[in-house]
Amino acid sequence: MTGATAIDEAEALRRILDIAAALLRAEDVGPEDHFLALGGDSLLAPMLARKIEGVTGTRPALADIFSSSFKDLAKIVASRTPIG
């Protein structure tokens, strides 16, 4: 690692919700929401993964994006060692 530090779950969730809201052009994105249910698709999912990696240092798997609530996705991101 080159100075990357772990991100806590609350901060990961805040950042993921901000990214998802902007990417999906949705005003009310909550922790229990799911990417696909809000209009996400297979074209937007890699963009979401890259943007999450950009702010957390960890890129979630596309399978996690498709199957997890944003709250669960934040747990996954927070539990992984940042790439660096």
- Would you give the distance in Å from CA 1 to the centre of its chain? 21
pLDDT at 81: 63
pLDDT digits (tens, 9 = 90+) for 11-49: 999 999 999 999 999 999 999 999 999 999 999 999 999
Class of domain 9-79: mainly alpha
pLDDT at 3: 45
- Residue 26 makes CB contacts below 8 A (sequence gap 6+) with 20, 38, 39
Q: How confident is the model at residue 6 (pLDDT cuts 50, 70, 90)?
A: confident
